Amino acid sequence: MSHPFDTLTPDLVLDAIESQDLLSDARVLALNSYENRVYQVGIEDAEPVIAKFYRPGRWSDAAILEEHAFTAELAECEVPVVAPLLHNGKTLFEHAGFRFALFPRRGGRAPEPGNLDQLYRLGQLLGRLHAVGASRPFVERESLAVDNFGHASLATLLEGDFVPKSLLPAFESVARDLLKRIEAIYARTPHQQIRLHGDCHPGNLMCRDEVFHIVDLDDCRMGPAVQDLWMMLAGSREERLGQLAELMDGYNEFHDFDPRQLALIEPLRGLRLLHYSAWLARRWDDPAFPRSFPWFGQERYWGDQILALREQCAALDEEPLKLF
């Protein structure tokens, strides 16, 4: 069965770039991206550009343009972010049925796990991001919620027959128990919804010349501030408490954090577990996914998922992290 990205050949990529009056030098390098297709394209007598071709059918034009507007707003407020290039008065282009955006090439390295000095600076960066994000809501972008990240994810997995029948009862039971408990914690935990990065893992915060910058706002959405913070923490509880203190010292210089949201860290981790499996399931008709994630669908993967969800249920029983 064909997939829309099958027709996105290197020649079509070059044609798309040159449709915007840019003269390529015919060098196209595919970068490591699955949700969208991302290429570095050489430009005659200029720096290469990064071309991101959006997955057909995922976002509306209005939602993509709202992402671009948010990124531009951050840049205007001097938050270091890789924003799409404004070219011929536009940031979103179309060629042969594909929508794409162009970005400057910006390298860097991901933060070092547990590096307290870096966590302080990352806290400052995320505080600045959220100070802008809290100023007004998204209109076109979706929100992070238990329904779409949790219940809809589980429905995708169950209705698509992705879980082996031998493991289905155990998987469904622990997933439903986890979601019931996450809903209860969400209901009793006050939290303001603000504009977020949405997928703020360390790989999306790059350091170059000792300055961190934010990349890839493709998943920006409304949600609680702690969603952009919890993936910065790793290790034992004691280590995470020390990391959290450094992160918050930097963050609170620019934006006030409500410590009650710390109770949402483990629920959000549980939602991410389910959402990740559902993301793979929803993309399985894209040939890039079976090639890159061959272990998905194997019995061992689902056995590991059952164990991970059980461990996540246990984590919900633990006392949330606290600021001292």
**Tens digits of pLDDT across the chain (324 residues):** 568 898 999 999 999 999 999 989 989 999 988 899 999 999 998 999 999 999 999 999 999 999 999 999 999 999 999 999 999 899 999 999 999 999 999 888 999 888 888 999 999 999 999 999 999 999 999 999 999 999 999 999 999 999 999 999 999 999 999 999 999 999 999 999 999 999 999 999 999 888 899 999 999 999 999 999 999 999 999 999 999 999 999 999 999 999 999 999 999 999 999 999 999 999 999 999 999 999 998 999 999 999 999 999 999 999 999 987
218 catalytic? Reply is: no
Q: Say how many C-beta atoms besides its own lie within 10 A of residue 270's C-beta.
A: 26
Domains of the chain: 4-104 (3.30.200.70), 116-317 (1.10.510.10)
Residue with tokens 């790989």: 203
From the candidates 199, 218, 228, 286, which is the catalytic residue? 199
Of 216, 218, 228, 286, which residue is the catalytic one? 216
Task: Count Cβ atoms within 10 A of the Cβ of residue 89 and give its class: 0-12 exposed, 13-18 middle, 19 or more buried.
Answer: exposed
Q: Does 216 qualify as catalytic in the annotation?
A: yes
Strand (E) or helix (H) holding 157:
helix 152-159
Q: Which residues are CB-neighbours of 118 under 8 A, at least 6 positions away?
A: 111, 112, 207, 212
